[in-house]
Amino acid sequence: MPSLDTIAPDAQAAGQGHLLAAAERLEGDARDAFVAQLDAIDFAQVPTWIERYVRAVEPEGVPASLEPAPYYPNDPTNASNPWDEDKYRDIGTGLIRAGKVACFTVAGGQGSRLGYDGPKGCYPAGCVTNKPLFQVFAEGIRSTSHRYGAPVPWYVMTSPLNHDATVAFFVEHAHFGLDPADVMFFPQGTMPSLDKDTGRILLASDRTVATNPDGHGGAIRALAESGAVEDMQRRGVEHVSYFQVDNPHAKVADPVFLGLHAGAPNSSGEFSSKMVAKSSWDEKVGVFCKADGRCRVIEYSDLPESLAKQTRQDGSLRFNAGSIAIHAISIDFIGKLASDAAYELPFHRAVKKVSHVEPDTGEPVEPAEPNAVKLERFIFDAIPLAGSSIVYETDRVEEFAPIKNATGSDSVETSRALQTERAARWLEAAGVKVPRHADGSVNACIEIGAMTALDADHLRAHDRLPDAIEPGAKVAL
């Protein structure tokens, strides 16, 4: 068991004596538990974090020579950049059939914008059925496994703040029909939240340090330390299909994308990404760029407006490759990132509101303004560390229906409209009549579950489709 005496010198040296005083005020189990929380903090690093992210905040900036990243266009017959979609579908299908692909979902976020009381994956997303996000993916994985005749294990990264609730949700729903042996949950790491003026680590209560999950980039370390990488190696998994918990349209394992990732001549097969064309110059998505010969994602807030607004001859945006946070990553590359300090992903700071208690008085504080620095790592910072990272364009309606906010853009409302639109397109491609309003929007609410079809081709092969959808109907297929 860690002792306060061992921790004290480093904590004092890091200017965090208030934590020691808080520990002294506790007794018994509460004190032991608090000391264990302190023991998990890397106090040797705290002064560097304060210096770099609290005191001397340098703008993240962008490399001088920024160009748009090249990408495989969604239309493989594209005149200026044709490519052989069938060949790569075959390669990707071969990988899935051989059991070399696992799904990996990052679900450790706090979902503060959505304001939902529970893990985001439990959120009712299905536009007709209200299916929770986790069920949408579980069915996608079951259907993929049936379609290709191979097990597709699923790794779900939680955080210490939502791990138990997530696991309990799966147990309660019998893992949505998946074999529990093929679903592995592991929590990501956390970082202490720092007071934005003093750099002091905040206390969530008299016996709890205020912490935040260490970002989706924390996945690299968590995958390695949890034993997930070892488990994948034991199963013969070579690549993970990475997606976020809040995008019900993410294809859980896309053969074409996996084939490009593993087989394209300009891919090192380490870290590949999907993009969609940005909807406007100021859409809040990261953009795939190239700098110093390497692909990277520049966050929307860092891309200078002058570049973001640049257009090509046909009027389309020059920097149009919006990141939708879908990646294919090799297990070898994850191992390399996790084991070599030279490949450690950097931290980014976010200033957020964090409720806390005053360390001296125990008075609760509900800040009206952002008061805390949270430190997070981003998974896409691994892209420039890969030998050669490729980008594949996909269709926005097909693959991007995120649920980030309670209302407005990227909310459950917009996601549900996109679910209906995608379902309508698949049905129309299969010859089913779908009622549409004069403005083209669908006059119905339609949800197609992954057990029915994973994509339009899959649906076309279905033998029991209706001839038409009734106007105004709510239909779940």
* Distance in angstroms (rounded) separating the CA atoms of residues 114 and 411: 8
Nearer to ligand UTP, 104 or 288 (CB): 104
- The residue range among 47-55, 95-103, 213-221, 453-461 that interacts with ligand UTP, by the rule CB under 6 A, is 213-221
Site for ligand UTP in 159-188 (CB under 6 A): 188
* Residue 246 near ligand UTP by CB under 6 A: yes
User: Three-state DSSP class for 23?
Assistant: helix
Angle, nearest 10°, between helix axes 133-148 and 163-172? 60
- The residue range among 35-43, 140-148, 239-247, 429-437 that interacts with ligand UTP, by the rule CB under 6 A, is 239-247
Which residue type, as a one-letter code, is found at position 457?
D
Nearer to ligand UTP, 111 or 322 (CB): 111
Nearer to ligand UTP, 374 or 416 (CB): 374
Nearer to ligand UTP, 254 or 410 (CB): 410
Residue from 92, 213, 248, 286 binding ligand UTP (CB under 6 A): 213
* Distance in angstroms (rounded) separating the CA atoms of residues 399 and 376: 26
Whether the Cβ atoms of residue 223 and residue 330 lie closer than 8 Å to each other:
no
* Residue 258 near ligand UTP by CB under 6 A: no
Cβ-based neighbour number of residue 213 at 10 Å = 24
* Distance in angstroms (rounded) separating the CA atoms of residues 210 and 37: 10
Nearer to ligand UTP, 211 or 452 (CB): 211
Bridge partners, 442 (sequence order): 436
Site string for ligand UTP, 335-374 (x = CB under 6 A): ----------------------------------------
Contacts of 185 (CB under 8 A, 6+ apart): 156, 157, 158, 163, 166, 167, 170
Q: Specify the long-range contacts of residues 11-18, CB closer than 8 Å, at least 24 apart.
A: 11/38, 11/41, 11/43, 13/43, 13/47, 14/43, 14/44, 14/46, 14/47, 14/50, 15/46, 15/47, 15/50, 15/199, 15/200, 16/43, 16/46, 16/200, 16/201, 18/200, 18/203, 18/359, 18/360
Whether the Cβ atoms of residue 114 and residue 406 lie closer than 8 Å to each other:
yes
Residue from 35, 102, 202, 245 binding ligand UTP (CB under 6 A): 245
Shortest distance in whole angstroms from residue 111 CB to ligand UTP = 5
Residue from 147, 404, 416, 422 binding ligand UTP (CB under 6 A): 404
Interface with ligand UTP (CB under 6 A), residue total: 22
> What are the E-state strand segments in 132-283?
154-158, 183-187, 190-192, 194-195, 203-205, 208-209, 211-213, 239-244, 271-277
Shortest distance in whole angstroms from residue 365 CB to ligand UTP = 20
Shortest distance in whole angstroms from residue 88 CB to ligand UTP = 27
Nearer to ligand UTP, 290 or 396 (CB): 396
> What are the E-state strand segments in 331-466?
348-352, 356-357, 364-365, 372-376, 391-393, 445-447
Residue from 157, 202, 295, 445 binding ligand UTP (CB under 6 A): 157
* Residue 215 near ligand UTP by CB under 6 A: yes
User: Three-state DSSP class for 450?
Assistant: coil
27, with CB counted inside 10 A (0-12, 13-18, 19+), is: exposed
* Distance in angstroms (rounded) separating the CA atoms of residues 322 and 388: 19
Which residue, judged by CB position, is nearest to ligand UTP in the bound state?
109
Site string for ligand UTP, 97-136 (x = CB under 6 A): ---------xxxxxxxxx-----x----------------
Shortest distance in whole angstroms from residue 162 CB to ligand UTP = 9
Which of these, 3, 34, 28, 74, lies nearest to 321 by C-alpha position? Answer: 74
Site for ligand UTP in 8-27 (CB under 6 A): none
User: Three-state DSSP class for 320?
Assistant: coil
Shortest distance in whole angstroms from residue 363 CB to ligand UTP = 26
Shortest distance in whole angstroms from residue 400 CB to ligand UTP = 13
* Residue 297 near ligand UTP by CB under 6 A: no
* Residue 275 near ligand UTP by CB under 6 A: no
Helix%, strand%, coil% for the chain, nearest 5:
35, 20, 45
Shortest distance in whole angstroms from residue 220 CB to ligand UTP = 12
Nearer to ligand UTP, 276 or 434 (CB): 276
Nearer to ligand UTP, 109 or 359 (CB): 109
Site string for ligand UTP, 380-399 (x = CB under 6 A): --------------------
Sites of contact with ligand UTP (CB under 6 A): 106-114, 120, 157, 188, 213-216, 218, 244-246, 376, 404
